């Protein structure tokens, strides 16, 4: 895992990027007021932050699901345009949004392949929570890859926001988000 630590040091902005992505997911979760209604799905997002934009070895394009980079091509401190586009994508697209460590968003959304035992390295057995669905399991597993800095998800079922790093996770059920901002 030595290379993994080195890549984290090289991307000092990754903490800020994670905070911006979590803030966006929390914003969309709090805006939506129909959680718990039968046959209603809330906004859903899956961000995959990568150290290198050569991610073809562990992803597949997910058809017509794309991020409109002409409207917002970079996650930046000017959150409003990014949140507006994320809101549209959260209700109309499926798959992971790939974001480079510098905040550049890749247009094509992807399906993420589960890593092999060899690709997971020294992580060992992952501990999954009962509430995790396919998107969360994928995010946890892929966060073990050396090329992946972290992942952030917004659950369409209940508005839970979760961040994944090195096969571990921190989750915030909807009722716990939106309070005073907390460092991770």
Where residue 176 falls among pLDDT bands split at 50, 70, 90?
A: confident
Structure-token pair, residue 8: 């984290």
CA distance 15 to 156: 24
CATH code for the structural domain at 2-176: 3.40.1700.10
pLDDT, residue 5, reads: 47
Average pLDDT over the chain, rounded to an integer? 87
Where residue 14 falls among pLDDT bands split at 50, 70, 90?
A: confident
Per DSSP, 107 falls in state: S
Whole-angstrom distance between the N-terminal and C-terminal Cα of the chain? 21
Per the CB < 8 A criterion, the answer to whether 21 and 47 are in contact is yes
Query: pTM of the full predicted structure?
Result: 0.88
Query: What confidence tens digit (pLDDT) does each residue in 116-159 have?
Result: 777 776 777 888 999 999 999 999 999 999 899 999 999 999 99
């Amino acid at each position: 895992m030595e290379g993994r630590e080195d890549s984290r040091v090289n991307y000092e902005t990754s903490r800020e990027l994670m905070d911006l992505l979590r803030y966006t997911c929390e914003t969309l979760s709090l805006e939506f007021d129909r959680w718990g209604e039968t046959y209603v799905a809330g906004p859903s997002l899956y961000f995959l932050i990568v150290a290198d934009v050569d991610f073809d070895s562990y992803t597949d394009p997910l058809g017509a699901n794309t991020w409109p980079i002409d409207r917002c091509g970079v996650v930046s401190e000017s959150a409003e345009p990014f949140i507006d586009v994320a809101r549209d994508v959260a209700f109309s697209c499926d798959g992971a949004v790939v974001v480079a460590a510098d905040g550049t968003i890749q247009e094509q959304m992807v399906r993420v392949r589960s890593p092999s035992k060899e690709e997971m390295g020294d992580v060992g057995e992952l501990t999954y929570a009962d509430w995790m669905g396919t998107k969360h399991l994928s995010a946890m597993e892929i966060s073990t890859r050396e090329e992946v800095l972290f992942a952030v998800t917004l659950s369409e079922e209940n508005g839970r926001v979760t961040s994944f790093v090195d096969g571990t996770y921190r989750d915030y059920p909807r009722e716990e988000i939106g309070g005073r901002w907390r460092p991770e």
